[in-house]
Amino acid sequence: MEPELLLPDAIEVLPPAYPTLGESWGVLGWFLLISLVIGVPLYGLAHWLLPLRVPVYKLGTGAALSVAVQLALLGWLRWRVSPARWPGLRWNRRGASWQLYALLVVLVPSQAVLLSALHWLPLPNWTAKTFQDMAHYPVLSLFFGCLLAPVLEEILFRGLLLRGLLRNYSPVVAIGQSALLFGVFHLNPAQSLFALLMGLMLGWLYYRTQSLALCIALHALNNLLSFSSMMYNGTALNEAAQHRILSSNSFLLTLLVAGLLMGGLLWWINRITSPAPAELAG
């Protein structure tokens, strides 16, 4: 009689975390669909009920509808994705150092200076007039642009998309894909390139720290700096003035200093942080 073979129990294969690369592009589709199904009818209703010819009403309504679409998208994804695949949110990694938040005071202005060099590129800016108008309404700009937008966008792009992608792919692929989506979602060439580069920074920072709160703080400070600059200048500089500033020796020196500061800060953050493999895999 042959001995009975004892087979090991079947190994349970867990589904991949949400999203995969294909599903991450699907989020863009859901965003556009929800914008059409919810955003457009609500804007039409607001136009019927409110005097949208008044700039503050028009700007406030547009900003509120943008928030409503993002909330609807997050709610739809949470309902549609099974609990077994939902990556969950992690606001702050245990033991995150206060030094990381302190570094943002230098990191954000350095990043802003470096990204200002993008003005050398003649990219279309379809929403420039909207942001110039918002500069005349500080409370509206601060509430929507520096509070709600950073929170909702970081929950979606770093807290959900990047967190799930990091569980399924290498950090390079995950961070690159989330940054690319972050740029495309802005649907404006000038903003999209800026957002893509900023998304790389935010993605790397989240990968190293696992702190969504830190990414929200960086995003909010960046928006605050941008809106403060617009409020101070009043209106955008004309092309000739921009060219004079961007071509000046003082601006080139500022770029060099900002680059050195940025490099030093990234080196320091890389030194005092480490990714959490167990968290990303579990």
DSSP 137-182: -HHHIIIIIIIIHHHHHHIIIIIIIIHHHHHHS-HHHHHHHHHHHH
Phi, psi of 17 (to 5 degrees): -65, 155
Report whether pLDDT(137) > 90. no
Does 200 reside within a domain?
Answer: yes
Torsion angle in degrees (nearest 10) through CA of 119, 122, 123, 128 = 60
Total domain count, the chain: 1
Q: Which amino acid is at 135?
A: A
Does 61 reside within a domain?
Answer: no
Does 193 reside within a domain?
Answer: yes
Q: Which amino acid is at 117?
A: A
Q: Which residue has the tokens 């073979």?
A: 5
Other beta carbons within 10 Å of 78? 11
Does 260 reside within a domain?
Answer: yes
Percent of the chain with pLDDT over 90: 50
Q: What is the mean pLDDT of the chain?
A: 84
Residues in the chain: 282
Residue 245's pLDDT is: 60
Residue 278's pLDDT is: 45
Does 11 reside within a domain?
Answer: no
Q: Which amino acid is at 99?
A: Q
Higher pLDDT, 280 or 34: 34
Does 152 reside within a domain?
Answer: yes
95-107 pLDDT, tens digit each: 557 889 999 999 9
Angstrom CA distances, 234 to 129, 162, 246, stand at: 12, 36, 19
Give the model's confidence band at 28: pLDDT under 50 very low, under 70 low, under 90 confident, else very high. very high
Domain residues for the domain of 228 are 100-281
Does 81 reside within a domain?
Answer: no
Does 5 reside within a domain?
Answer: no
